[in-house]
Amino acid sequence: MNFTLKVWRQRGAGERGRFVIYPARDVSPAMSFLEMLDVLNQQLVLKGQEPVAFESDCREGICGSCSLVINGIPHGPDRGVATCQLYMRRFTEGTTITIEPWRAKAFPIIRDLVVDRGALDRVMQAGGYISSNTGGAVDGNTILIGKDRAESAMDAASCISCGACVAACKNASAMLFVAAKVSHLALLPQGEPERATRAKALMKAMDREGFGSCGNQYECEAVCPKSISVHFIAAFNREFLRATVAEPGPLTEIPSDPHAEFR
Amino acid sequence: MTRLFTVLLTSLGSKVVVALTGLGLAGFVVFHMLGNLQVFEGSESLNTYAAFLRELPILLWSARVGLLLIAVLHVGLTIRLAIHNRRARPVPYAVREYRKASMASRTMALTGGLLLIFIIFHLLHFTAGVVDASFSDRLDPRGHRDVYGKVIHAFQNPWFVVLYLAAQGLLGLHLSHGLSSSLQTLGLEHPLLNRLFRAAGPLVAGIVVLGNAAIILAIALGVLRA
């Protein structure tokens, strides 16, 4: 198969980026999208040119590293898969494929198609965890919960933090990510004691990182490689309202940026 | 108080206020349409209803101030959110394909802005009588203001018919996304009721547009006369 690739090239965060056109010849339909880019990069290296920088790790859809907007859709045209699980047979012979990085203020470009998703980590550091005593760890299933609840928590926990929801959102909002993390922990007995502070802390952290607000267009759900439902966003909205009304907490304010010392 | 503001100024807090005020405005729009349908019962009914609304100045002005406050909160916070959202993606995509986003959801800022302009025009037209002063001070035989006469006079003018019908289109689009979206923002989600919540927007929008358009068209086509 032959394609024309229109790839975003950018040397660094502050630099000006532009599209560069590369031909992709004799591509096997059985190649994954990333393997096709590997072949392109080999050709570029042989020609003495700079290869296209893109991120990948596990290449089996669970690490959340690969992050390409392909023809205007994060993770490309297939539903419920990451870029690494997308195969070239999915594309029409001879067409132009546009490849862009995740575009959001919170995700500054490191190089070409690689963006810094540290913002998602900092949101998690704000409260996306449970506090537990050190020492002999208690078995996770010591406290029994119902099957339905376990399934719902697992649906939310399947988030691989790839950031496709942010990339797809008109407002570059991370609500599906935040909602999945908050719901996952709020549904489990281990996460229950801190659910109110967690919901409020993650909300503030999301705003602080420069993500937009949710427009309820549900594009995030449509591109999520794990097909996480927007019902978790409604659940998170409820969680935030409940936290605000039922557990307002002490008057002392959470420091505006808990990570200031690490910057 | 500061704590209340810090909650309201988070993006979700602002969205909750926008959703609540939006639902308030949607409720007003529904009652406005139902009240106006009395035009089909004739001049006596509509003029008596209009007089009834104006009878209690305290009620009238508290409703007006309340609606104004709701509208200011709705528009003000939306503008604040929209500025924040624009800043969240400084470099746009070269190619963009939508999978789920409805036309209504993608044009909320546009339909909202145009609706605001229309509402100001509508108030200047029917309430203040600045756009077209005829009939504004005329009284019907019972001594009520002749609202019926003014409505009939307005929609016998084809320009007003086109303008008001276009505004119904905008209102329909804005309401169809806004209403269902408000329910989601308020966390109203339940496996048994989700279809109802998603359908509520288009359904209410459709009813309001049909009701209002029926009045305009009935007069324009000569079904209702002075």
- Looking at A146-150, B15-19, B70-74, B129-133, which range is the least confident one? B129-133
Residue A85 CA neighbour count, 13 Å, CB half: 17
**Token code pair at residue A227:** 């097909």
Which domains, ranges and CATH numbers included, belong to chain B?
2-83+102-220 (1.20.1300.10)
CA A216-B208-B54 angle, to 5 degrees, is: 115
Amino acid found at A209: E
pLDDT at B57: 82
This model of the complex carries an ipTM of: 0.91
Q: Above 90 in pLDDT, residue B144?
A: no
Is residue A186 within 8 A of residue A174, CB to CB? The reply is no
Token output for A24: 């992709």
Within 8 A of A100 by CB-CB distance, chain B residues are: 93-95
Chain-centroid distance of CA A257 in Å reads 22
Beta bridge partners of A115: A109
H or E element in which residue A164 lies: helix A164-168
d(CA A173, CA A195): 21
Average pLDDT, chain B: 93
Q: Which residues of B touch A231 (CB under 8 A)?
A: 189, 194
Blockwise average pLDDT, block size 10, chain A, 263 residues: 97 93 96 97 96 96 96 96 96 97 97 97 94 82 92 97 97 97 95 93 94 96 97 96 84 59 59
Chain B segment 48-67 residues within 8 A of A by beta carbon are none
- Annotated domain spans of chain A: 3-111, 118-262
Banded model confidence at residue B207, pLDDT cuts 50, 70, 90? very high
Q: Is the pTM of this model over 0.90?
A: yes
Q: Are A222 and B99 in contact (CB under 8 A)?
A: yes
Instruction: Please list every residue in chain A whose beta carbon sits closer than 8 Å to the beta carbon of residue B89.
Output: 103-105, 171-172, 212
* Burial zone of B212 (CB within 10 Å; 0-12 exposed, 13-18 middle, 19+ buried): buried
Class (C level, CATH) for A3-111: alpha beta
Query: What CATH number is given for A118-262 in this structure?
Result: 1.10.1060.10
Q: Residue B100 is nearest to which of A69, A105, A218, comparing CB atoms?
A: A218
A chain contacts of residue B11, beta-carbon cutoff 8 Å: 173, 203, 206-207, 212-214
Instruction: Tell whether B127 lies on the interface with A, counting CB pairs under 8 A.
Output: no
Q: Is B195 on the interface with A (CB under 8 A)?
A: no
Rounded CA separation B210/A126 (Å): 49
List pLDDT tens digits, range B165-182.
999 999 999 999 999 999
